[in-house]
Amino acid sequence: MKVGIDMVEANRFSMIKKEHYPRIFTKKELEYALEKNVPMRLASIFAVKEAFLKAVGIGLYHGIDLLDMEVQHLSSGKPILVLSQEVKKQYDLGAIDISISHTKDCCVAICVIEEK
């Protein structure tokens, strides 16, 4: 089993210029985040991506583009991480499970990857 965790302060995303969003977030992620509580949702999505990279054992900008991962939500609200075909080919990963939690200022995400 591989595990990664990340914590992000939401105000970090109220300071980032919107023109930088498309380099970090997919169109679907931005649509979801712009519905409400934008900084917290963006921080949560970013935390998931960082937690995944930590679980894989690589750092930000060291092998996987942030746009090759997408945080989606099931109808129940449970977040899931969807990877591009390129990432799936590059890394032989088992099932991936993620969870997100937050306070009014910070969010934390954990990613657990089963061994194949």
User: What CATH number did the domain enclosing 38 receive?
Assistant: 3.90.470.20
**pLDDT tens across the length of the chain (116 residues):** 999 999 999 998 878 888 889 999 999 999 999 888 889 999 999 999 999 999 998 877 677 899 999 999 999 999 999 999 989 888 889 999 999 999 999 999 999 999 87
pLDDT of residue 27: 96
Residues composing the chain: 116
Residue 75's SS3 state is coil
C-alpha 28/C-alpha 91 separation (Å) is 24
Domain count, the chain: 1
pTM of the model: 0.93
pLDDT of residue 91: 86
The domain in which residue 47 lies consists of 2-113
pLDDT of residue 88: 87
CA 105 distance to own-chain centroid: 17
C-alpha 96/C-alpha 2 separation (Å) is 9
